[in-house]
C-alpha cells in the first residue's frame, strides 16, 4: 500500500466515529420519523402500523393546539434579538477598563453553564405571584397589581422570554467580547480624528466589523429557540392553558403522553421545515447587512 493510500485510510478511520454517530443518532432516526409521519402508529403497545398517506399533514391545519404552539414558538423568538443586543451592550461595557472586570465577565457567563432545569426552578421562585421577590419589588415601587407571571396565561410567555434572555445573554456576551478585541484600533482612531462621535464609531466601524458574528448568533439563537424544551418544560410544562406550549413540547406530549407517534413525527418534520425556512431567509437577508 502506498503512503498516500495509508494516509487516506488513517483519515477515514479518524472520521469514522463521527460518521457512525451522525448516521445512527441523526440520519436513521430522521428517516424513521419521516416514514412514521405517513402512518397512524401508536407505539409498540398500540395497534398495528397502518399507512395513512397525508392524513396527518391535513390534520395539522385543523389542529388548534398545533397552531397555538406555532404562534407561541414564533413569539418566543423575541428573546433571540433581545439577548444578542444585551450581550453586545454587556460586552462593550466589559471591554473597557472597569473595576472587577474579570469577575463581572464570569458572573455574566456563569448562568449559561448552569442547567436550564435548575435555572427554571430558581426563576419559578423569583416569579412567584405572592411570595416572589420580583413582585415584592414591584409592590415596593408602587405597582398595585403586579403580574401573576407564570400563573397567568397573559404573562407566562413574557416570563419565559425574560428567563431565556437572561440565560443566553452570557454566551452572546463572551462571543462579542472575543470579537470586539479584534476590531482594529487604527480604524477607531482614524474615525475619532475625523470627528466621529462614540456612537458614530460604534455604528460605522464596530457594528459592521462584528456583523458576521452577530449573524452567527442570530442564526444559532433562532435554531435553539425553535428547539427549546428543557427550560419551558421545567418551568410551565406548556401551561397555563397551553399559553407557553411550543412545538418541541407538543411533539413530546403527542408522542409520549398520547402515544401518537405518527402524528408526533409529522409535527417534528414541520418543525424541521420551519427551522430550515427561517435559516434560508436569514441567510439571504444577511447579504444586505453582513460585511465580510
Q: What is the pLDDT of residues 114-170, one digit of tens each?
A: 888 888 889 999 998 888 899 999 999 988 888 999 988 989 999 999 999 999 999
Residue 33's nearest CA partner among 267, 281, 286 is: 267
pLDDT at res. 48: 66
**Confidence tier at 29 by pLDDT (50, 70, 90):** confident
* The pLDDT value given to residue 143: 86
Task: Provide the percentage of residues in the chain whose pLDDT is more than 70.
Answer: 98
Half-sphere exposure of 20 (CA within 13 A, CB side): 6
What confidence tier does 226 reach under pLDDT thresholds 50, 70, 90? Answer: very high
Q: How confident is the model at residue 39 (pLDDT cuts 50, 70, 90)?
A: confident
Compute the 3-state secondary structure of the chain and give helix, strand, coil in percent, each to the nearest 5: 75, 0, 25
Domains of the chain are 62-288 (1.10.3720.10)
CB 271 within 8 A of CB 35: no
Please check the confidence at residue 46 and state whether its pLDDT lies above 60.
no
Residue that the C-alpha cell 403580574 belongs to: 147
Q: What is the average per-residue pLDDT within 261-266?
A: 91
pLDDT at 49 over 80: no
C-alpha span between 58 and 55 (Å, rounded): 5
User: With 70 as the cut, is the pLDDT of residue 255 above it?
Assistant: yes
Instruction: State residue 40 phi and psi, 5-degree precision.
Output: -115, 30
d(CA 216, CA 222): 10
The whole-number pLDDT of residue 215 equals: 94
For 60-104, write each residue's pLDDT tens digit. 888 999 999 999 999 999 999 999 999 999 999 888 888 888 888
pTM: 0.88
For 100, the 3-state DSSP assignment is coil
Mean pLDDT over all residues of the chain?
89
In sequence order, what are the residues at sequence separation of 6 or more whose Cβ sits closer than 8 angstroms to the Cβ of residue 158? 147, 149
Amino acid at each position: 500500500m502506498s503512503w498516500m493510500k495509508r494516509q487516506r485510510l488513517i483519515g477515514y478511520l479518524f472520521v469514522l466515529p463521527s460518521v457512525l454517530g451522525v448516521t445512527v443518532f441523526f440520519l436513521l432516526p430522521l428517516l424513521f420519523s419521516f416514514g412514521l409521519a405517513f402512518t397512524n402508529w401508536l407505539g409498540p403497545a398500540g395497534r398495528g402500523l397502518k399507512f395513512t398517506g397525508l392524513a396527518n399533514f391535513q390534520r395539522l391545519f385543523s389542529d388548534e393546539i398545533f397552531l397555538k404552539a406555532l404562534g407561541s414558538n414564533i413569539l418566543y423568538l423575541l428573546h433571540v434579538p433581545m439577548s444578542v443586543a444585551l450581550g453586545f451592550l454587556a460586552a462593550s461595557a466589559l471591554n473597557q477598563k472597569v473595576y472587577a472586570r474579570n469577575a463581572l465577565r464570569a458572573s455574566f457567563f456563569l448562568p449559561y453553564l448552569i442547567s436550564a432545569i435548575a435555572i427554571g426552578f430558581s426563576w419559578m421562585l423569583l416569579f412567584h405571584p405572592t411570595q416572589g421577590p420580583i413582585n415584592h419589588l414591584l409592590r415596593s415601587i408602587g405597582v398595585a397589581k403586579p403580574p401573576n407571571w407564570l400563573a397567568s396565561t397573559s404573562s407566562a410567555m413574557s416570563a419565559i422570554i425574560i428567563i431565556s434572555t437572561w440565560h443566553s445573554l452570557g454566551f452572546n456576551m463572551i462571543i462579542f467580547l472575543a470579537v470586539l478585541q479584534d476590531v482594529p484600533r487604527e480604524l477607531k482612531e482614524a474615525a475619532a480624528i475625523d470627528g466621529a462621535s462614540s456612537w458614530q464609531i460604534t455604528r460605522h466601524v464596530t457594528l459592521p466589523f462584528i456583523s458576521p458574528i452577530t449573524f452567527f448568533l442570530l442564526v444559532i439563537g433562532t435554531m435553539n429557540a425553535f428547539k427549546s424544551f428543557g427550560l419551558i418544560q421545567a418551568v410551565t410544562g406548556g401551561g397555563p392553558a397551553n399559553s407557553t406550549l411550543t412545538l418541541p413540547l407538543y411533539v413530546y406530549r403527542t408522542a409520549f403522553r398520547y402515544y401518537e407517534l405518527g402524528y408526533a413525527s409529522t409535527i417534528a418534520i414541520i418543525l424541521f421545515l420551519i427551522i430550515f425556512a427561517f435559516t434560508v431567509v436569514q441567510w439571504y437577508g444577511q447579504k444586505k447587512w453582513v460585511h465580510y
